[in-house]
Amino acid sequence: MQLIIHRGTHEIGGSCVEIRDKNTRLLFDLGLPLNDAENIKLNINGLYKNDKSEINGIFITHSHPDHYGLLDSVNPEIPVYTSKITANIIQNVSEIKGEDNYSDLNLNIIEKPVNIGDFTIIPRNVDHSAAGSLAYEIIHNGKKILYTGDLRFHGRTSYLSKNLAKITDVDYLIMEGSTLDRPDQKIKTEDDVFDEMANVFTTNKLCFVSFSSQNLDRFISVYKACLKTKKTLVIDPYTCFVLENFKEISKNIPQWNWNNIRVYFGGGKHTENLADSGKLFTYKSKKISVEEILSYPEKYVVKTAKAICDKILSIYDVSKIEYIYSMWSGYLDNPSYFDILKPQIRHIHTSGHAYIMDLQEFVQKIEPKVIIPIHTEMPQKYSQLYDAEIKILKDGEILNL
Ligand SMILES: [Zn+2]
């Protein structure tokens, strides 16, 4: 059996792992790099549309583009496996976002172990900032590999990652290390985020919150904080659509037609695509105008989107707005429609990736023989942190297992 990390040995994003034997070739993740790499496309034989298919299966961990973004170029004969929620995001939501079309993918939902050649691939649910995230346990002739994908231990479904730590007899642990460059870490959970938000929402001011529509944990934190402080959350039609694609997770996932949620129809590309698909009008019963919001500003929390921010910020005094930024602070370096609010930002956020202490505890429980770093800029740090043999690979290097 051989392992090749095509990309991700020394970077965060663009992950792709190949595991193969003489007869079978499997890929795990096929992501877009986060940096402006020159060679976005990976050099993998038998993968692409015009090649004769030589890959027996592609297993996607979760719905972040740095893990699935290159799927648009793969030969549609190759089966792609992932969770139901990830499949919803890849097929339905990316289309509304106007991203590359993934409609001809041979997508399969994986809920139970799958056998391909001499491999058994077992999906394992984990906690991450993308709902429906998986790790994969791969068994081949008595050897066991565990590929973590992205994971954390402090979100609303942290028990999933803790269950992953119960897997025993792992020979090779291919483990992410996104946060290893952040030494002074105080663990903040998603519940802490909820508490801090609810605190801010006790104000009489109009509140704005910036967060990703696809970060379901964060949506629930904001929504619960609104309920607690009797505020109404104003979202855009795109967020309504994303929530509908999470419906299958449980009946408890808030939906656009729930109490305390209103919808602002502001235009923009996503809204236009929803209009074209015939979806937009279904949200009409919850429509709200800027005039209505500004008549009772103390009642509302607005999820920021360009259309509504442009309108409100052009007529309303910014000093009367409480502004919460609830995403990775690195994005703030980019110019944005909310630039005028940046001087008064409150940053309330927790990472989608595990803290170092949690990863150390995870490794202690799993007791892997070998750890192979991935999705990290600091692979050389692994040997200081974890008690196992560390095997740092180069992108494209072949390791015999
Ligand atoms: Zn991710």
- Centroid of ligand 1 to alpha carbon of 62 (angstroms): 7
- Centroid of ligand 1 to alpha carbon of 282 (angstroms): 31
CATH architecture of 190-347: 3-Layer(aba) Sandwich (3.40)
Residues 373-397: what's their mean pLDDT?
A: 97
Residues 187-205: what's their mean pLDDT?
A: 96
pLDDT of residue 101: 78
- Centroid of ligand 1 to alpha carbon of 316 (angstroms): 36
Could you tell me the pLDDT band of residue 323, with boundaries at 50, 70 and 90?
Answer: very high
| Length of the chain in terms of residues written | 401
- Centroid of ligand 1 to alpha carbon of 143 (angstroms): 27
pLDDT of residue 187: 87
The domain spans of the chain are 2-182+352-400, 190-347
- pLDDT exceeds cutoff 80 at 183: no
Q: Choose among 289, 240, 294, 285: nearest CA to 266.
A: 289
- Centroid of ligand 1 to alpha carbon of 352 (angstroms): 7
- Centroid of ligand 1 to alpha carbon of 294 (angstroms): 37
3-state secondary structure of 223: helix
- Centroid of ligand 1 to alpha carbon of 107 (angstroms): 19
- pLDDT exceeds cutoff 90 at 193: yes
Per-residue pLDDT tens over the stretch 329-358: 888 998 899 899 999 999 999 999 999 999
CA distance 220 to 236: 16
Q: What CATH superfamily classification does 2-182+352-400 receive?
A: Ribonuclease Z/Hydroxyacylglutathione hydrolase-like (3.60.15.10)
Residues 65-86: what's their mean pLDDT?
A: 96
Q: Choose among 89, 95, 23: nearest CA to 57.
A: 23
Task: Give the phi and the psi of residue 367 in degrees, each rounded to 5.
Answer: 50, 60
Could you tell me the pLDDT band of residue 94, with boundaries at 50, 70 and 90?
Answer: confident
Residues 197, 198, 199, 203: is their CA dihedral positive or negative?
positive
Residues 81-109: what's their mean pLDDT?
A: 90
**Residue with the larger pLDDT of the pair 83 and 104:** 83
Give 331-366 as a 3 state SS string.
Answer: HHHCCCCCHHHHHHEEECCCCCCCCHHHHHHHHHHH
pLDDT of residue 116: 98
Could you tell me the pLDDT band of residue 23, with boundaries at 50, 70 and 90?
Answer: very high
Per-residue pLDDT tens over the stretch 261-290: 999 998 889 999 999 999 999 999 999 999
- Centroid of ligand 1 to alpha carbon of 130 (angstroms): 6
- pLDDT exceeds cutoff 90 at 100: no
Per-residue pLDDT tens over the stretch 225-241: 999 999 999 999 999 99
Cβ-contact 40, 70 below 8 angstroms: yes
pLDDT of residue 340: 93
Could you tell me the pLDDT band of residue 40, with boundaries at 50, 70 and 90?
Answer: confident
